[in-house]
Structure 1
Amino acid sequence: MGKNVNLRSKDWQFLMILACTLLISISMESASGSNGQLTEFHYKYKCVKQCSNPDDLIFCADAAYKVALLGSSARINCSDGQTGTKKRTCETSEAGVKFGEVEDFCVSHQINNILQSAQNSTEVAKQLPTLVKSLANITENLDNTTPGNLAASLDILKVFSSANVKSVSESTVETFLSVVDSLVDDSALTAWTSVQNEKNDSSSELLKSIEGFTRLLSPNNQTFNIIKPNIQLKGIKVAPGKNYDIEFNDIKIKNKSITNTVYMDKSNLEKLNKDSLVMSIALPTMNDILKEPPGSLKLNGLVMSTTAENSNVSIKMYFMPLDTTLNQSSAQCVFWKLETGKWESYGCKHELSGSSVICTCEHLTSFSLLMSKEAKQLKNTQTFNTITKIALGVSLASLIISILIEAIVWMDVTKNKTSLARHIAILNIALCLLALDILFIAHDFLKPKNLKCTAVIFCLHFSFLALFFWMFTLGLLLLYHLVFLFKELSRSFMMLTSFSLGYACPLVISVSAFAYAHIRKQYTAMDKCWINKEILYLQLIFTYVPLAIVGINFFITIFAIVKILRPGIGEKARNNLSEKNSVKKILRCIIILTPLLGLSWILGFMLLDKFSHDALRYLFDILNGLQGFFVLLFGIIMDEKVQAALKKRILSKTPSQKSLTATNSTSSSNTY
C-alpha cells in the first residue's frame, strides 16, 4: 500500500493486523535468532513496510504473544496443568513501544480444584470448615501473590461467605481470616493492581466476603479476638447495660504505630437483640488496595469495618491520622460504599480532639479518614451552612409577605389583561418557590427509601420544574409584549396557556419520570432522601430541562436590552445624557429580570463542573437562597401599581379617611 493510505477504519485495522500476523508467522523460522525470538525491529519493519503507514498503526510483537495494538493486550494460555491465561500489554516506555511485564492470570490446579468444588452450594454447606481449611493450607504453601491465584481465591471466599449455614465456629473464622491475611499482604499489592484492572469491584467483593463470613461466627465467650498480621477482629456479645468499646493497639501502617478506638454506647446497643454480635475488623493494608478519591484528598486513617445485626445504629470512632503533615481541618470521615466502590461521607460528621479525629456516623460499614494538605473547602464549613439557612429563612419570610401583598392588592392591579398575566405568573412563581423551599428543608429530616421520602421528593421535583416553567411563562409573556406592542392576548387563551405551561407540563414530566423510575425502584437515592442522581435520565430531567428554560429566558433578556437600546421611530441620535439613561435602564432591566426569570440559576449549572471554585458556590447559594426576597423586592414592591394600591389601602384605614367615609355613609343614609 502507498504511503498516503490512511487506515483509521476498524475493519481495515483488523485486516492489516491479520495480514501482519500471518506475515510474521510465515517468516518466524527464517527470522528467528538463536533464542527463537523475533526482534521487535524485524516485526515492525516487515509490517510497517508492507502493511500500513507507521503513524496509523503502532503495535507490539512477540514470538509467543504475537501482535497487539498500542494500548491493547495479548494473551496466551497457561501450561503445566494450570488454567487461565498470561497477559502482556502493548505500551510506551523510555525504550519505545514494547510489551510490558507478564501478568500471570494462571490459576494453580490446587486452587482450581477448590473453585470447582465451590460451584456446588450443597457440598459447600456440608463441608465448609474442611474447604476453608484446605484453602488456608494451599495459600500458606503456595505463591498466592499472582493475579490469577488472587482472583480465584477472592471468588472462593465470596462463595464461602454466602454459604447456606447458620453458624461457624471461632476456629473456622480464624482460618478464613488467615486466608484473607495472605491475600492482603504487602507482597500481593502488585497482583491487586492487575486484578483491579480486570475487575473494578474486587476490593469491594473482599470486604463483602469478610463481613458476610464473620456474621456467621458463633463465639464461645462474651468477648472474642482474632489477631493476624494484616487483619484483626474484635467483638462482643450484646449484654444489657454495657457499652461497646474496642481498641486496636499498636497497629503498624507504613512503619508507623497507631491506636484506634471504636465506641457504641449502651443506648445504641439496646436496639440490638441480647447475645447478638457486634464486631470490628481492622485492615491495615487495605489503605493501599482501596482506591483514593480523585483530587487532593488522601486516605489518612486505618480502614475499620464494624458490623451488627442492625446496621442503622450510631457509632463513634477515634482515628489517629497516619500523615501528620496533612491539614487537620481538611479531615473528612468517610465510608466505603460497596455498591459503587467509592468513598462517601453522608451520615458522618467529625470533630477534632488534639491530634486525633473523632468520627460519628449513623450507620455501620467500612470507615476511614480522608485528609489533604489544603484547608477544607468552604462548602463543608459551618459558615457555609449558616449562610444557607439564613438565606432560606429570609426567602421564606419574603415569599409569605409577597403572597399576602398580592392577595391585598389583587383587585386593584389586575384590571387589564397585561397586568393580570404578569401578576398571575409572579404569584405562582412565589407559590412554587415557597413550596420548593419548604420541601428542601423537609427532605433533610427524612430517611431514604420510605413512603414519606418518596412523596416529598416527587413534590419537590414537581415544584422545582413548575417554578422554572412559570418563569418560562413570564419570559414568553415579556417576549410577546415586546414583539406585539399593540396586540393583546384574549383572557381565556392567556389563562389556558399560562396554566398549561406552568403546571401541566411539569406534572406530565414529573409523573412520567416517577412512574418509569419507581417501577424499577430507581427514583430515590439509596443513601439519602433525594432524587437518584446516578440514574442518567433522572439527572437529565432534573438538570437539563431547567437549563434549557434558563437559556431561553437569557436570550429573552438580551432581546429586551436590545429593544431598550434601539431608538424609537422619529428619535434623534442619542447624546451622552440619553446614553447614561440607557445604561441605567439596562441595569434596571437585568436586576429586575434576573430573579423573575431565574437567570441566577446559570451559576448553579456552572457548578456541575466538579472543579468549580468555592466562591462560585457561595454566590450561587446566596443569590438563589434569597430569590424569594428578590421576587418580593423587584417583582412586587417596585411595581408602581402595587405601590399605588398599597397606598390606597393604607390611606383608607387612617382616622381622617375613616371619618370622611363615615360622613359620606351618613349622608347617603339620610338621603333615603
Structure 2
Amino acid sequence: MTPTITTCEDDVFGVGKEEDIVTVSCAEGKVGQQQYKCTKGEWVPLQDDCVLEVIKNLEDQSQGITGGDVPKFVEQLNNATLQNDDLVVSSQATVTSIVTILDNIATASVTIEVDQEVMENFLQTVNVLVSPSANAVWNSLNGDTNETRKNASSNLLRAVEKMAGALANEDTYQIVTETLSLNKAVVTEANNLLMINSSEIEIPATELSGRNTSVTVVVFFSLNNVIPVRTLHNSKDNTLNGNVILVNTSQPLDNISLTFEKNNTELANPLCVFWNFDLFNKTGGWDSFGCEPMFDGNITVTCECNHTTSFSILMSPYIPPVAKIALEVITYVGVGISMGSLVICLIIEIIVWRAITKNDTAYLRHVCIVNIAVSLLMADIWFIVGAAVSDENGADAGPCTAATFFAHLFYLAMFFWMLLSALLLFYRIVWPFGNISRLAMMLIGFFIGYGCPLIITVVTVASTAGHDGYINSNNTCWLNWTETKALLAFVIPVLVIVVINLCVMIVVLSKMLKRGVGDTEENSEKQNLKVIAKCVAVLTPLFGLTWGFGIGILIEPDSFGLHVVFAFLNSFQGFFILVFGTLLDNSNCSGRKTTDLNLRIRTNKRGYHISKTSNPSTSSDSSVNI
C-alpha cells in the first residue's frame, strides 16, 4: 500500500509537501519577506520580516541622522507610529525597526540639548511600543534566537537612558503617558525627596554637599511585560514585582534610596536589581551589584544603591524565614551526620582490614567500600565549602568554581566506585573461575574510579568555563544548567551507572536463582558476594533517588519540599554506606573464624582430594580420596 503524502495547497503559496518552506513578498504597505512552512496540510507562518514601509524608510534615514535633524525627525517618527499603532504592536519586525530608529535618535542627541517637545515625541513613540497590546510581540522577541530581536527590549531601555541624559539641565517639567512618566526636577539638601506616582527617590543630603543637582526620573508602569527576567540570580519563579525606575543625575552619586510599591504582595524575598547592559553576551540582564534591600514592608520595598541607572525589584514565591532557617539546619546537620558516618566507616575498615581481606574478592570489595566512603566524604566537605562561599547575593566565581569542580569530581568518583562494585559482583558470578591479579584489578579500579571522573570534570570545565558557564548563573556553587547545560556532565554518567548497576543486579539474581552461589564458591566467597549484592541493590537506587531530588531542585529551585527531601536523603548517604557496606558484613566480626576453616578442592590422578584444617595450630590432617 502506497503511503499517503501530505501536501499543502493555497492560491498564494502554491502546492508543497510536508516540511516544505516557501518565501513570499509582504502585503501592500510593507517591505521584506515572509516564510511559511507546510505543516500537517497547512501553510503555517514560520518567519515574518515584514516592516511597515513608512517605518522602514525612517529607519534607513536614521542611519545618518545628526543632532540638528533630531527635533523634526522624532516628530515624523511619532506621527507614523501613532497613525499605525495597531499594525506596529502586532509586528515583531516593525517593533524592532522602531527600536533601532529610537537608538539612532538617542545616539545623535548626545551632541545637543533635548527640550521638552522632543522628549514628548520620543516618549509617545515608546509609549506605543510598551503598551499592553504589544505584550505578545515582546514575548516572542525576548525568546527569539536572532540577536537583533532578542536585544530589542534592552536596546529600547538604553535609548531612553541616553535621551534622559541629553535633557537640558536647566529645565524642570513633567511628561505623562499611559505607560510611563518623566519627571525632571532639582533637588537640594533641604528638598531631597522625589515622590512620583507610587515610587519614592531620596538622595541623602550628604551626597548633595550644598550643590543643586538636576534629577531626571522615568517610571515605567508596564515594562515588566516588555523586559525579560534575565538575572544572575536566575530562577524561573522570579518576577519583576515593581515598576522600572530610570534615574539620571547631573552629578555622580555614591548613594541613592528608592522605594517601590509591590505589584503582588503575595511574593517575598526581594532582590534589588539594576539593568546591566553588559550581561549575557551584551543582551543585558538584571544585576544586584551595589544594591541592597533595606526595608521589606507589606506593600513596599526600599532599596539602597551606590550608583544610578534603571532599577526595579525581583521577588519570588514566599518561603517563611523560619522555614529557610529550618532548611539550613537540616542541610548542615544532615551533611554532618553523613560525614560522621563515613569517618566511622573508615575507622572500622582500618581496624579489621587484615582480618577481612584474605581472598581477592573480599580485598577488592573493601577497596571499593573505602573509596566510596572517601569520595563521598570529600564531596561532602566541598559541598560545605561551596555553601560557605555562596550566599543569597551570590559568590565569587573563583572559590565557587573550585568548590563545584571538586564536588563534581568526588560525587562522580563515588558513583564510579559503586559501578566497580557491581562489575566485581558480575565478574565473580558470571566467571567464577576467572583469575585476574590483584594488581591488574587495582590498576583498572583506580583508573575507572578516579580517572574517568577526572576526565569528565576537566573536559566540562574546559568546554564551559570560557563562557562563564561552568557554575550556575547565580553563582550558586553547583553545575550550570540554564546557559550551558554543564549539569549534564553529572546527570548523564550517574544515570548510566544506575542503569548498568540495576542490569547487573538482574543478571546476578537470575544466575544465583539458577544454580546458587554456593555451588561454585567457597563459604567466604559466597558471603562476600552476598554483601556486595546487598550494597549494590540498596545503595544504587538510594543514591540515584537522592540525586534525582537534587536535579529536581535545579528545575524547581524555590520548592521548599524538594529541598527538605534532598537534605534528609543526603544526610543518610554516609549512614547507609556505614550500615550496608561495613556493619552488615558478617566477616567484619567473624572474618578470622571464616578464614580458619579452609576447604580446598584439588584434583589428582586418583580423583578428588579434600583436606580440612580446622585451626592453624593443629597439625592433624584428614583426607578422603574419592
Instruction: Provide the TM-score with structure 2 as the length reference.
Output: 0.66
Task: Give the counterpart letter for 2:572 in structure 1.
Answer: L
Contact 1:553 1:599 in 2 (8 A): no
Please point out which of 390, 403, 412 is paired with 1:456: 403
Contact 1:78 1:84 in 2 (8 A): no
Please point out which of 481, 484, 491 is paired with 2:428: 481
> What is the aligned residue count?
550
Aligned residue in 2 for 1:441: 384
User: Structure 2: how far apart are the matches of 1:234 and 1:441?
Assistant: 49
Aligned residue in 1 for 2:98: 153
Q: 1:15-44 CA deviation, whole Å, 9 max, x = no partner?
A: xxxxxxxxxxxxxxxxxxxxxxxxxxxxxx
Please point out which of 396, 407, 424 is paired with 2:339: 396
Aligned residue in 1 for 2:372: 429
Deviates most, 425-434 or 147-156: 147-156
The reply to whether residue 633 of structure 1 matches residue 575 of structure 2 is no
**In 2 relative to 1, CA 539–233 (structure 1 residues): closer, same or farther, beyond 3 Å?**
farther
Task: Give the counterpart letter for 2:7 in structure 1.
Answer: L
The reply to whether residue 533 of structure 1 matches residue 481 of structure 2 is yes
Deviates most, 497-506 or 228-237: 228-237
The reply to whether residue 119 of structure 1 matches residue 69 of structure 2 is no
Q: 1:300-346 CA deviation, whole Å, 9 max, x = no partner?
A: 84442567999x99988644345x7xxx3688869899859999999
Task: Give the counterpart letter for 1:467 in structure 2.
Answer: M
User: Structure 2: how far apart are the matches of 1:215 and 1:611?
Assistant: 38
The reply to whether residue 77 of structure 1 matches residue 14 of structure 2 is no
Task: Give the counterpart letter for 1:483 in structure 2.
Answer: V
Please point out which of 78, 82, 85 is paired with 1:144: 85
Q: CA deviation at 1:536?
A: 5.8
Unaligned runs of 5+ in 1: 9-55, 250-258, 572-584, 647-672
Q: How does 1:39-50 map to 2 (within 5 A)?
A: none
The reply to whether residue 285 of structure 1 matches residue 215 of structure 2 is no
Task: Give the counterpart letter for 1:556 in structure 2.
Answer: V
The reply to whether residue 492 of structure 1 matches residue 439 of structure 2 is yes
Q: 1:263-307 CA deviation, whole Å, 9 max, x = no partner?
A: 89999x99xxx99999875332335556799x9979684442567
Q: CA deviation at 1:501?
A: 0.7
Q: Greater relative contact order: 1 or 2 (C-alpha under 8 angstroms, separation 6 or more)?
A: 2
Please point out which of 449, 465, 470 is paired with 2:417: 470
Aligned residue in 2 for 1:622: 568
User: Structure 1: how far apart are the matches of 2:589 and 2:304?
Assistant: 53
Contact 1:280 1:304 in 2 (8 A): no
**In 2 relative to 1, CA 495–263 (structure 1 residues): closer, same or farther, beyond 3 Å?**
farther
The reply to whether residue 207 of structure 1 matches residue 144 of structure 2 is no
The reply to whether residue 516 of structure 1 matches residue 474 of structure 2 is no
Tell me, what secondary structure is at the counterpart of 2:570? helix
**In 2 relative to 1, CA 57–502 (structure 1 residues): closer, same or farther, beyond 3 Å?**
same
User: Structure 1: how far apart are the matches of 2:134 and 2:220?
Assistant: 14
Q: CA deviation at 1:161?
A: 5.9
**In 2 relative to 1, CA 213–97 (structure 1 residues): closer, same or farther, beyond 3 Å?**
closer
Task: Give the counterpart letter for 1:422 in structure 2.
Answer: R
Contact 2:501 2:536 in 1 (8 A): no
Task: Give the counterpart letter for 1:232 in structure 2.
Answer: S
**In 2 relative to 1, CA 560–365 (structure 1 residues): closer, same or farther, beyond 3 Å?**
farther
Q: How does 1:138-537 map to 2 (within 5 A)?
A: 138-139=79-80, 142-146=83-87, 147=91, 149-160=94-105, 176-186=122-132, 188=134, 202=149, 205-211=152-158, 213-214=160-161, 217=165, 227-229=175-177, 230-232=179-181, 248-249=196-197, 259-260=198-199, 281-289=218-226, 301-304=241-244, 318-321=260-263, 328=266, 339=280, 355-356=298-299, 358=301, 367=312, 383-444=326-387, 445-446=389-390, 450-485=397-432, 487=434, 489-519=436-466, 522-528=469-475, 529-534=477-482
**In 2 relative to 1, CA 451–86 (structure 1 residues): closer, same or farther, beyond 3 Å?**
closer
Tell me, what secondary structure is at the counterpart of 2:32? strand
Contact 2:7 2:16 in 1 (8 A): no
User: Structure 2: how far apart are the matches of 1:6 and 1:138?
Assistant: 56
User: Structure 2: how far apart are the matches of 1:243 and 1:455?
Assistant: 50
User: Structure 1: how far apart are the matches of 2:582 and 2:203?
Assistant: 54
User: Structure 2: how far apart are the matches of 1:628 and 1:353?
Assistant: 40
Tell me, what secondary structure is at the counterpart of 2:219? strand
Task: Give the counterpart letter for 1:116 in structure 2.
Answer: D
Q: CA deviation at 1:547?
A: 0.8
Contact 1:449 1:524 in 2 (8 A): no
Contact 1:300 1:371 in 2 (8 A): no
Task: Give the counterpart letter for 1:387 in structure 2.
Answer: I
Tell me, what secondary structure is at the counterpart of 2:222? helix
Instruction: Provide the TM-score with structure 1 as the length reference.
Output: 0.62
Q: 1:119-143 CA deviation, whole Å, 9 max, x = no partner?
A: 35xx55x558447734554356532
Q: CA deviation at 1:156?
A: 2.0
Aligned residue in 2 for 1:543: 491
**In 2 relative to 1, CA 486–84 (structure 1 residues): closer, same or farther, beyond 3 Å?**
closer
User: Structure 2: how far apart are the matches of 1:562 and 1:265?
Assistant: 78
User: Structure 2: how far apart are the matches of 1:494 and 1:570?
Assistant: 24
Contact 2:113 2:166 in 1 (8 A): yes
User: Structure 2: how far apart are the matches of 1:535 and 1:402?
Assistant: 39
Aligned residue in 1 for 2:7: 57
Tell me, what secondary structure is at the counterpart of 1:538? coil
Unaligned runs of 5+ in 2: 520-527, 593-626
User: Structure 2: how far apart are the matches of 1:475 and 1:164?
Assistant: 71
**In 2 relative to 1, CA 559–299 (structure 1 residues): closer, same or farther, beyond 3 Å?**
same
**In 2 relative to 1, CA 476–260 (structure 1 residues): closer, same or farther, beyond 3 Å?**
farther
Aligned residue in 2 for 1:600: 543
Tell me, what secondary structure is at the counterpart of 2:86? coil
Aligned residue in 1 for 2:601: none
Q: CA deviation at 1:418?
A: 2.7
**In 2 relative to 1, CA 438–539 (structure 1 residues): closer, same or farther, beyond 3 Å?**
same
**In 2 relative to 1, CA 87–352 (structure 1 residues): closer, same or farther, beyond 3 Å?**
farther
Deviates most, 441-450 or 167-176: 167-176
User: Structure 2: how far apart are the matches of 1:563 and 1:245?
Assistant: 81
Fraction of identical pairs, as percent:
23
Task: Give the counterpart letter for 1:283 in structure 2.
Answer: F
Q: 1:87-129 CA deviation, whole Å, 9 max, x = no partner?
A: 999999xxx98999xx9944243x3333113435xx55x5584
**In 2 relative to 1, CA 542–199 (structure 1 residues): closer, same or farther, beyond 3 Å?**
closer
User: Structure 2: how far apart are the matches of 1:204 and 1:540?
Assistant: 28
Q: CA deviation at 1:420?
A: 2.6
Contact 1:260 1:317 in 2 (8 A): yes
Q: CA deviation at 1:548?
A: 0.3
Contact 2:469 2:480 in 1 (8 A): yes
